[in-house]
């Protein structure tokens, strides 16, 4: 039983009551622009690039917070309800979204499942990422209908392009007066994503190793696109607890494939990755699943494409 989802739903019922009472919540809505709320960082970045000067984009999850551990507050319900667009990933990523949308169903906001039509993969069994199925396309189902889907679709530049197209179409629907600008912005951003895909393909295709050891089973889409295989300490949720047997299997995998690095991510504790690396006699490197950025990364002007480029540099280093 998913107690976190049950508790999250109970909390949302309370928050709906609080939001309905007013409470002096500060609005993030900007008059004269299309107000867009996003459920996590990649959607925020895509919307900023495609919307340009015509949009006010607010990411619900604060900088430095891991979205798997986040649930909306009363002010989030109010701000989303007052917006024109609410962009969420879908494919099972946001366990809170069904209850959340019930709370804003009478508002003007248009909810858009960004992963609709993307090439989705089934979640691998257990903790490893050996699932290389081609998957099936999403039909825009609600998260509850996609329990066996790996939601990390944005880590494929191909899927990022499809998600960006969905955002572009949604912006045109709510703001047809600026259709040409949204179309042009999308074309420019899609070209950058195509360039990113080519860079990944050209950089990884001839490297001797094809296996990676990761802390969080988030990279099946990246592995699927570029012929890699991941072995993960934890499952699809980065706070799942590995057993002693899981750690043993990881050490054996590292030794079998003569890996030199264990990848970890910035928004969760690196304790397990460092423990495993020390036991296996290897080092650690960052592989960012782009579920969010730190405040420092935001101040530095990093974004989806720059972080993916940094990921590629570390992959090339590890796969030599």
DSSP string over 243-256: PHHHHHHHHHHHHH
How many whole angstroms separate alpha carbon 97 and alpha carbon 9? 9
Full-model pTM: 0.85
Write b or e for each residue in 186-203: b if 16 or more Cβ atoms lie within 10 A of its Cβ, otherwise e: beebbebbeebbeebeeb
How many whole angstroms separate alpha carbon 5 and alpha carbon 262? 30
pLDDT confidence of residue 26: 62
State the alpha helices, DSSP H only, in 149-214.
Answer: 157-174, 179-204
pLDDT confidence of residue 241: 74
Cα 239 to chain centroid distance, Å, stands at 15
pLDDT confidence of residue 68: 79
Separation of first and last alpha carbons in the chain = 42
pLDDT confidence of residue 115: 97
pLDDT tens digits, the chain, 320 residues: what are they?
A: 444 444 444 444 434 333 333 333 467 889 999 999 999 999 999 999 999 999 999 999 999 998 877 889 888 988 999 999 999 999 999 989 988 888 887 788 999 999 999 999 998 743 333 333 333 333 333 334 456 899 999 999 999 999 999 999 999 999 999 999 999 999 999 999 999 999 999 999 999 999 999 998 999 999 999 999 999 987 766 666 788 888 999 999 999 999 999 999 988 888 889 999 999 999 999 999 999 999 999 999 999 999 999 999 999 999 99
């Amino acid at each position: 039983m998913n107690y976190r989802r049950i508790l999250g739903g109970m909390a949302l019922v309370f928050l709906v009551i609080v939001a309905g009472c007013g409470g002096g919540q500060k609005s993030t809505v900007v008059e004269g622009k299309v107000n867009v709320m996003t459920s996590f960082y990649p959607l925020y970045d895509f919307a900023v690039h495609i919307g340009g000067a015509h949009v006010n984009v607010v990411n619900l999850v604060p900088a430095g917070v891991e979205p798997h551990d986040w649930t909306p507050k009363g002010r989030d319900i109010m701000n989303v309800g007052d917006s024109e667009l609410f962009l969420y990933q879908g494919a099972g990523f946001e366990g809170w979204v069904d209850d959340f949308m019930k709370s804003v169903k009478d508002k003007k906001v248009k909810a858009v499942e960004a992963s609709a039509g993307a090439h989705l993969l089934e979640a691998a069994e257990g903790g490893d990422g050996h699932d290389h199925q081609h998957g099936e396309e999403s039909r825009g189902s609600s998260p509850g209908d996609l329990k066996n889907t790996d939601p990390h679709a944005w880590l494929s530049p191909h899927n990022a392009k499809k998600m960006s197209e969905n955002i572009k179409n949604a912006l045109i629907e709510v703001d047809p007066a600026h259709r040409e600008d949204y179309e042009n912005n999308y074309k420019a951003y899609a070209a950058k994503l195509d360039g990113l895909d080519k860079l990944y393909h050209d950089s990884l295709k001839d490297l001797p190793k094809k296996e990676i050891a990761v802390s969080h089973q988030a990279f099946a889409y990246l592995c699927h696109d570029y012929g890699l295989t991941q072995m993960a300490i934890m499952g699809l949720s980065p706070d799942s607890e590995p057993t002693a047997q899981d750690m043993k299997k990881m050490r054996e995998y590292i030794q079998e494939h003569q890996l030199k690095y264990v990848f970890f991510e910035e928004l969760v504790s690196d304790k397990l990755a460092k423990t495993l690396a020390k036991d296996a006699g290897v080092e650690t490197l960052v592989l960012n699943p782009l579920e969010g950025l730190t405040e420092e990364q935001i101040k530095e002007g990093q974004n989806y494409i720059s972080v993916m480029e940094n990921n590629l540099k570390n992959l090339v280093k590890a796969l030599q």
